Amino acid sequence: MKSPRNVLSIVLLLSVVVQAAACTVPFPLPFSRQESQPVKPPGNSQLTNTFPASYAALSLVTEEARTFNRVELSLETDGIYANPFDPAEADWWVTFTAPSGKETSVPAFWYQDFDRETLQPVGKPGWRVRFTPGEPGDWSAEASFNDAEVDTIPVHFTVSTDPAARGFIRIHPENSRYFAFSDGSLFFPVGVNMAWSVDDVLIDYERWLNRLSENGGNAIRLWMASWSFGIEWKDTGLGDYSKRMDRAYLLDEVFKMSEERGIYIMLALLNHGAFNTRVNPEWDSNPYNIALGGPLKSPEEFAVDPLARQYFQRRLRYIAARWGYSTHLWSFEWWNEVNWTPLGDELLEPWIHEMTSALRAYDPYEHLVSNSVAYGATTLWAMPEMSFSQIHDYTARDPVETFGSSYRQTREAGPGKPVVMGELGYSWVGENYPFNVDGIQLHNGLWAAPFSGYAGTAMYWWWDNYIDPLNLWYQYRGIARFLEGENLAQLEPGRAGVSPKAATALTLQNSQKALVWVSSNAYTAEAAQTTYEWAVKSKQNVEGWHYLPPTLKNLMLTVTGLADGVYHVFWFDPVTGEWGGGESISSVNQTIKLALPPLQGDLALKIAP
333 domain-assigned: no
The boundaries of the domain holding residue 539 are 497-608
- For the segment 560-567, the average pLDDT, to the nearest whole number, is 98
> At which of 141, 160, 179 does a domain end?
160
Task: Please state the domain count of the chain.
Answer: 2
Give 52's pLDDT tier (boundaries 50, 70, 90): confident
Is there a domain that residue 75 lies in?
Answer: yes
What are the pLDDT digits (tens) for 260-286?
999 999 999 999 999 999 999 999 999
Give CA–CA dist 525/331, Å, rounded: 31
User: Which pLDDT tens digit goes with each residue over 135-184?
Assistant: 999 999 999 998 678 889 899 999 999 999 999 999 999 999 999 999 99
Residue 227 per-residue DSSP state = T
Q: How many Cβ atoms are within 10 Å of 236's Cβ, its own excluded?
A: 23
Q: Look at residues 108, 130, 160 and tell me which one is the last residue of a structural domain.
A: 160
Among 136, 160, 184, the domain boundary falls at 160
pLDDT per residue as tens digits for the range 198-218: 999 999 999 999 999 999 999
pLDDT value at residue 85:
98
In this predicted structure, what is the pLDDT of residue 234? 97
Tell me what the mean pLDDT of segment 474-494 comes to: 97
Residue 147 pLDDT: 67
What integer pLDDT is reported at residue 48 of this predicted model? 43
pLDDT value of residue 148: 78
- 127 belongs to a structural domain: yes
pLDDT score recorded for residue 475 = 98
Q: What is the CATH number of the domain that holds 515?
A: 2.60.40
Handedness of CA 339, 344, 347, 353 (dihedral sign): positive
What 3-state class would DSSP assign to 459?
Answer: coil
Whole-number pLDDT of residue 430: 87
Please compute the mean of the pLDDT values over residues 526-551 and round it to a whole number: 95
Per-residue confidence at 49, pLDDT binned at 50, 70, 90? low
What is the predicted pLDDT for the residue at 319? 98
Is 12 part of any domain?
no
Q: Is residue 177, in this structure, part of any structural domain at all?
A: no
Q: What are the tens digits of pLDDT across the range 366-419?
A: 999 999 999 999 999 999 999 999 999 999 999 999 999 999 999 999 999 999
Residue 401 lies in a domain: no
Each residue of 309-320: pLDDT tens digit?
Answer: 999 999 999 999
What are the two backbone dihedrals, phi and then psi, of residue 220, each rounded to the nearest 5 degrees? -140, 165
pLDDT class for 128, splitting at 50, 70, 90? very high
Averaged pLDDT for residues 74-100: 96
- Is 173 exposed, middle or buried, given 0-12, 13-18 or 19+ CB atoms closer than 10 A? exposed
In a domain, 84, yes or no: yes
Q: What is the CATH number of the domain that holds 118?
A: 2.60.40.10
pLDDT at 347: 97
Is the residue at 131 inside a domain?
yes
User: Concatenated DSSP letters for 484-514?
Assistant: TT--GGG-EEEEEEEESSSEEEEEEE-SS-E
